[in-house]
Amino acid sequence: MLNIMNSIYDIRLLDDLARRETSIHRLHPLAKLLTTAVYLIVVVSFDRYEISRLLPLFFYPILIFAFAEIPVKPILKRLLWVEPFVIGIGILNPVFDPQMITFAGLEISRGWITFLSIFTKGSLTVIAALLLIAVTGMDKLAEALRMLRVPKVFVLQLLLTYRYISVLMEEVGTTLRAYSLRAPGQKGIQRHVWGSLVGQMFLRTFDRAQRVYQAMILRGFTGEYITGSNSKMRLKDFAFLAGWSLFFIIIRLFDLPMLLGLIVTGVIR
């Protein structure tokens, strides 16, 4: 119940954030999508013992947060929500790789290193995905998918699913509230009504889909979802994509924190 309301809130929040007008929001969706793709591949391409070299990759989300004026708290909250899965699998690493190594005078098992590496990667990838939608929005992302030659059947279907999620979640929420008011103190939907409760909702949805289709036909639907904007990539969009990609590749090829550390410690010594 709470879960459904939270989810509706989350979707609307990201929707609202995507409607802001900042330099990042105004960039072409394709540039942001491709940059995110390069970023994700670079993040996961690092070895499982790597932590320090992942740190320069924090620049990207932090700068996007700042330039796009995205509030940090709700995104981090979402991150905490999904992190348990990654932690659940990663936390077993110290058990299976207990070999000790010395790191800066500390005895630490290699399993903890791999766990920290997975944890860092998990945080970076999750934040990057959430930021992509928070600065782009679903309609523009769909436009980018169309430019990548994703078939219109899929894109249209994706957009319709997205459009109707909040409608159907509210319906499910109402139904569940009605159920819980009539069956107080129960933990979930009882076995004997599984079929009728979900089945009734399905039938209502099925009929709704037909009405939606008829309404769309009446308004001239021919199989194309027209968003109204069909912009081309401009110079600054290419610059955004190329600049960040170059930065990610440099991070991948060179150990920047180590170079920085060597310079600083070298100067001190």
Partner 1 sequence: MHMADALLSPAVGVTMWAVTAGAAAYSIKKVQEDMDEKKIPLMGVMGAFVFAAQMINFAIPGTGSSGHLGGGMLLAILLGPYAGFLTMASVLLIQALFFADGGLLAFGCNVFNLGFYTCFIAYPFIYKWFTRKGINSKRLLAACLTAAIVALQLGSFSVVVETFLSGKTELPFSTFLLIMQPIHLAIGVVEGLVTASVVTFVWKARPEILETVLRGEALGSVSLKKVLAGFTLGAVLIGGVFSWFASTNPDGLEWSMFKTAGTAELEANDGLHTSLGNLQNQTAILPDYGFKTSGNGENEAAVSKDAEKQSRSFVDAGTSVAGLVGGALTLGLAALSGIAISMVKRRRKKATTEG
Distance (Å, rounded) from C-alpha 253 to C-alpha 260? 15
Distance (Å, rounded) from C-alpha 14 to C-alpha 138? 10
- Say whether residue 223 binds partner 1 (CB under 8 A): yes
Quick one: 186 or 227, whose CB is closer to partner 1? 186
Amino acid at 170: E
Interface residue with partner 1, options 76, 86, 116, 233 (CB under 8 A): 86
Structure tokens at 241: 């994509």
Quick one: 191 or 232, whose CB is closer to partner 1? 191
Quick one: 232 or 265, whose CB is closer to partner 1? 265
Q: Which of 86, 116, 112, 87 is nearest to 99 (CA)?
A: 112
In order, the DSSP letters of 207-221 are HHHHHHHHHHHHTT-
Question: 136-155: which residues touch partner 1 (CB under 8 A)?
Answer: 138, 141, 151, 153-154
Residues forming beta bridges with residue 101, ordered by sequence position: 108
Question: 230-269: which residues touch partner 1 (CB under 8 A)?
Answer: 252-266, 269
Question: 22-41: which residues touch partner 1 (CB under 8 A)?
Answer: 36-37, 40-41
Q: Could you tell me which residues come within 8 angstroms of residue 50 by beta carbon, excluding any fewer than 6 positions away?
A: 117
Interface residue with partner 1, options 47, 181, 185, 229 (CB under 8 A): 47
The DSSP secondary-structure symbol of 232 reads P
Q: Which stretch binds partner 1 (CB under 8 A): 99-107, 230-238, 239-247?
A: 99-107
Interface residue with partner 1, options 20, 26, 55, 76 (CB under 8 A): 55
- Say whether residue 110 binds partner 1 (CB under 8 A): yes
Backbone angles phi, psi at 100, to 5 degrees: -85, 140
- Say whether residue 132 binds partner 1 (CB under 8 A): yes
Interface residue with partner 1, options 9, 16, 92, 243 (CB under 8 A): 92
